[in-house]
Amino acid sequence: MLRSALASARRLAVREDGATVSPRAVPEETPVALSYAGTTHAVMMATPSDLEDFALGFSLTEGIVSSPDEIETVDVQELDLGIDMQIRLRDAANRRFEARRRRLAGPVGCGLCGIESIDEAIRAIPPIGKSSLTFMHADVTLAVRLLSQHQPLHAATGAVHAAGFYVPGDGIVAAREDVGRHNALDKLAGALARRGVDGASGAVVVTSRVSVEMVQKTAAIGAPVLLAVSAPTALAIRTAEAAGVTLVALVRGAEFDVFTHGRRIATGEPAHVA
């Protein structure tokens, strides 16, 4: 049985009225290797939960596969010091992966998800398809508020990120948590793909700052809108602009900043979820 995502730590709790020794819930963090054809491609420090979603989502957002059916099997192996996810690709996808791996100079390192060249790191993203999806002002604030209700691990520990998928009228239809913001988004991508949820039908919502990888992964999902509670980097903004993704950040209550493709954000009646 795989290790739990939740652990307990003994701590000295110092408060204004004194100090007491008591337990506190903390999230587990463990090395998770993503291996293809028996070769490790990346090792991520991650929360050991929703690992099949993680394997599928990482494979999709990193362009290793283009659809879930290109993965034949995922074998999750628990080791003494971590977890190894042995991912077996079908023939065509495996040939593409082997060709990609041969293009890398030297052994795979621990930089950007096994990427060693600048061209691979700042890869061009095909613009997402034209989307007529429009978010009301209240949809933006509601999406972030609802995501907080789908974070049981964060509620227990206060130490993990979350990524959710918000569909207007339906609310958060899927959410995943992890100590790493990229991992949470990969897990969400895998969950959406396994359920057959169309990425163009809603928005990705994240509890973290927006780095370029978060935009790249959102575009890979096919979502036209990315909502974040923290700020974006300059490269993330440029990437979202080029990819056609509406980037909304610093969502705090009823206030937020729209950085790219603001045509998808409108004002009007408050959003409601049945």
The confidence score (pLDDT) of residue 107 equals 37
Q: Which of 92, 56, 74 is nearest to 189 (CA)?
A: 56
- Global pTM value: 0.90
Range 48-59 average pLDDT: 97
Question: Does 116 score more than 70 pLDDT?
Answer: no
Q: Which positions are annotated as active-site residues? A: 110
* Residue for token pair 């701590």: 11
- Summarised one tens digit per residue, pLDDT across range 154-177 is 999 999 999 999 999 999 999 999
Query: Could you tell me which residues are beta bridge partners of residue 212?
Result: none
Q: Which domains does the chain have, with CATH numbers?
A: 30-121 (3.10.20.10), 135-266 (3.40.140.10)
Q: What are phi and psi of 258, to 5 degrees?
A: -105, 120
pLDDT, one tens digit per residue, over 200-226 is 999 999 999 999 999 999 999 999 999
